[in-house]
Amino acid sequence: MLYFVTMIQHQIFDQLGTMKAGMLSGPFTTSEQRIDLLKKIKTAILNHEEPLFKALYQDLRKGREEAWVTEIGMTIAEIDQAIRKLEKWMRPKRVSTNLLNFPSSSYLYPEPLGVVLIIAPWNYPFMLLMAPMVGAIAAGNKVVIEPSENAPATEQVIGDIIDSIPDQKDILYVKGNGAEVVPALMNGFRFDHVFFTGGTLVGKKIYEMAARQLIPVTLELGGKSPCVVEEDANCKVAARRITLGKFSNAGQICIAPDYLLVHQSKREEMVQEIIACIKSFYGEKADLSKEYCRIINRNQFLRLKGYLHYEEIIYGGHTNEADLFIEPTLVAIKDLDSRIMEEEIFGPILPVISFRTKEEALSVIQRHPNPLAFYVFTGNKQKEEDWIRTVPAGTGCVNNVTWQFTNPALPFGGRGNSGIGAAHGKHSFDRFTHYKSVLKTPTWFDPLMKYPPLSGKLNLFKKIIG
């Protein structure tokens, strides 16, 4: 650790100081300069498409199609939107002005925060690093990116991509063991924002380090996201959408349904429909499917396998440690105090719980309040409104799961233990932007009533201000 800190001090802190000085010296980069860098980033990514396919397969066994849609394609979409909309996003926004300030005009001027740190997880090791970086670059910041060492092949390719971008001085790529790299960086330099995606436990540690220097943070965390299936739900459609959202990436998705709350009258039908979908998507033997991913490493594999020793398996349950394979699995929950119902699963295991009344289902959800996502399947408009308005959550879907993340018009983020702040599309630009409030006052009119002496003007002030 001491060697690493010394290495960081000598090799990186000088670059961080240069970045900070560049932000303070001004003026900020123009839209043309930012768009030019975004285009270079896009070109570099597309030039490394094949190495990315191979790396994501090596790290997570992701097929080319899934890798493109969930990692490369989503990042390219973020870049394209930023390039297309950036000039509009950067314009000062005029806002209303009160009578007291007549004849002034009021504006919000977007300006970059400065030097920001982005820390990525391993489950989507490319997109969850690069997409927020795109927002930070679009907003005019200097960016330090720290990838997950748990996806080493992807980590290497990302470094190659950054190295291939010509004449860029706005991105600093720092890799290594996150438990050493991040504290060394944050304790040795004051960033202007820290953007972290990952688990709640690590998120709390980063929040504590940031708080010592009053550094604002965005924390994209997780939690136990419930999925409710009402008695009037379309089970066939619900099963397809739940199966896709839960078992893509072998369940290693922060917004995947963590457990299923099914109305008692629909339980058996839902279970059978989900089993049919699993077989349809991945075959009778998912370990032979080219569509099914693997667990990231042995530690995660053993953690997930440990859940299966204590629960009643409805379907699945087969594992292969050598291949880091865990079959798509459904389990019946008898004890709400079991470990699987106390911890975020983050894997291809879906607990199934029956309920008879909404109050009964809510009592389960309220054991882990403020999930990152909440899902409900119902054919009744009143029920969907009641559920959405009753369950506090970071994000959500009605008759769908996980797809809220694919719409850049929807900010993505948690609340409470599931996160702080939100990003995505324009919201990423906003996340890495300070909107400076500016009042512009002409000199052609300068009413004397606002200057001393103020005696006798109280009633006038009450009329104007009130």
Residues 6+ apart with CB under 8 A from 237: 399
CA 146, distance to chain mean position in Å, is 15
Q: How far apart are CA 63 and CA 262, in angstroms?
A: 32
The answer to whether residues 216 and 193 touch, using CB atoms and an 8 Å cutoff, is: yes
If we measure between CA atoms, which residue out of 409, 415, 404, 424 comes closest to residue 372?
A: 415
Say how far apart CA 410 and CA 352 lie, in whole Å.
29
Amino acid 94 reads: R
Backbone angles phi, psi at 308, to 5 degrees: -70, -20
Torsion of CA 33, 38, 41, 42, to 10 degrees: -140
The two tokens of residue 191 are 């960033």
The residue type at 253? I
The catalytic position among 71, 220, 273, 311 is 220
Round to whole Å and give the CA distance between 207 and 328: 34
Identify whether the C-beta of residue 427 lies closer than 8 Å to the C-beta of residue 411: yes
* The residue type at 342: E
Are the beta carbons of 400 and 68 closer than 8 angstroms? no
Diameter over CA atoms, the chain: 87
Give yes or no: 293 in active site.
no
Whole-Å CA distances, 216 to 115, 300, 410, 459? 12, 30, 22, 42
Contacts for 422 with CB less than 8 Å, ≥ 6 apart: 218, 394, 411, 412, 413, 431
In terms of DSSP bridges, do strands 193-197 and 171-173 run parallel, antiparallel, or are they unpaired? unpaired
Q: Which residues contact 80 (CB under 8 A, 6 or more apart)?
A: 42
Catalytic residue among 227, 254, 293, 397, which? Answer: 254
Number of other CB atoms surrounding residue 19 within 10 Å: 22
Does residue 397 carry a catalytic annotation? no
> E-strand spans in 9-104?
93-95
Write the DSSP assignment of 92-122 as a string of letters: PEEE---GGGTT-EEEEEEEE-SEEEEE--S
C-beta of residue 148 within 8 angstroms of C-beta of residue 122: yes
Which residues belong to the active site? 220, 254
